[in-house]
Amino acid sequence: MNWWGSIFGPALLHRKVKDRIYFKLGFIRFFPWQIRENENAGSNWEIDYEKYQNEINSSRFKEIELPGKDTDNDFIPDWWEEEFGYNPNKRDDHKILDPDGDGLNNIEECYTYQWNSSPFQKDIFIEYDWIESGTSNNIANKPTEGNSNQLIKVFSDHNITLHLDNGSLGGGEMIPYISEFSMFDLRDMYWDYFLHNDLNNPRKGIFHWCLISDYGPYPGFPGFAVFGWDHLDSFQISAQRIKESHPFKSKGYIIASITMHELGHNLGLVVDDHLGIDNDVASIPFALEIFKISRYKSCMNYLYTYSILDYSDGSRGKKDVDDWGKIDFGFFKNTHFEWPKN
């Protein structure tokens, strides 16, 4: 049985071809349905450590090696501790210290200091790799500087420093043209071009990884968040596919808008959290549910994905939500799933 958002069941205007509803003599024939909302429905991303005996270890196989003298042997060199107010003669547990709450511990912040990160200023890192475009107009899949700066400003307005690596931060490169690729190919590219087949690559757990291509594995998806290795730390963008359906949007803007949308999933803004996130009803003209989500002015809402380069702040009353306040910076490194053992 299903809950359709109303005690009256599925609305006629919400019906799509893929819905398992059929009509007879003008009536929806789908009985029974539930007359109240299901409790505890949907995914729960929290881990009940007391319920499972297997210990989930999300730490690295070895710590990041950082240059410089480390007097107190706490994995952080003296020069960094002195600069940010730590005592280089006192051992601190930098593996768990995260004073700005951005999901990066002090060891990771020290590693990214080379790219102007700070342990007292929230930082988000994204590595872009892009597949060479095969379109006749040869519009590159590489993010443009102008739209990247536009995206950076959106986060800066909320006191978050967004670092975009399209070749300037030690990663980011063009991949030779591939006409089609599968999810298995996408996983291989994650290892080949992001981690470079290094289990201890320090970028793991610091950078989100994005692959941009003309078309992706799923024809109906303009982009999607994906588990790269063991966490929801990656996403894919089918830039040319979106360009064809939104011809008046530049490819650079499309890449920026989908980056912000899919990054939102990596930051914990997932479909089960709010009616307006990834709601397919937004694509159905005159669907009643559109009025329920129209105040949710966020790029996470399919109504506004390509027109609003921003998350919502929850200021528009009922049915709106504060995306910025709900962001979980560590979500992309704490979404561990394991296949059940036989």
Q: What is the pLDDT along the chain (342 residues), one digit of tens a residue?
A: 566 666 666 665 555 544 555 555 455 555 566 777 777 666 666 666 666 555 555 556 678 999 999 999 999 999 999 999 999 999 999 999 999 999 999 999 999 999 999 999 999 999 999 999 988 666 789 999 999 999 999 999 999 999 999 999 999 999 999 888 999 999 999 999 999 999 899 999 999 999 999 999 887 788 999 999 889 999 999 999 999 999 999 999 999 999 999 999 999 999 877 888 998 877 777 777 788 889 999 999 999 999 999 999 999 988 899 999 999 999 999 886 544 444
What is the pLDDT, as a whole number, of residue 279? 87
Rounded Cα–Cα distance for residues 67 and 319 (Å): 50
Domain span at residue 14? Answer: 1-39
State the total domains in the chain. 1
What is the pLDDT, as a whole number, of residue 27? 53
- Please indicate, yes or no, if residue 13 is contained in any of the structural domains: yes
- Please indicate, yes or no, if residue 259 is contained in any of the structural domains: no
- Please indicate, yes or no, if residue 25 is contained in any of the structural domains: yes
Residue type, 115: W
Per DSSP, helices labelled H in 56-171 are 78-83, 106-111, 145-156
What is the pLDDT, as a whole number, of residue 277? 92
Non-local (6+) Cβ contacts of 194 within 8 A are 127, 129, 171, 201, 203, 207, 209, 228, 234
- Please indicate, yes or no, if residue 261 is contained in any of the structural domains: no
- Please indicate, yes or no, if residue 15 is contained in any of the structural domains: yes
- Please indicate, yes or no, if residue 120 is contained in any of the structural domains: no
Q: Evaluate whether 309 touches 162 at the Cβ level (below 8 Å).
A: no
Non-local (6+) Cβ contacts of 131 within 8 A are 141, 174, 175, 176, 177, 178, 211, 212, 213, 214
- Please indicate, yes or no, if residue 262 is contained in any of the structural domains: no
- Please indicate, yes or no, if residue 90 is contained in any of the structural domains: no
What is the pLDDT, as a whole number, of residue 42? 63
What is the pLDDT, as a whole number, of residue 341? 45
Q: Evaluate whether 235 touches 261 at the Cβ level (below 8 Å).
A: no
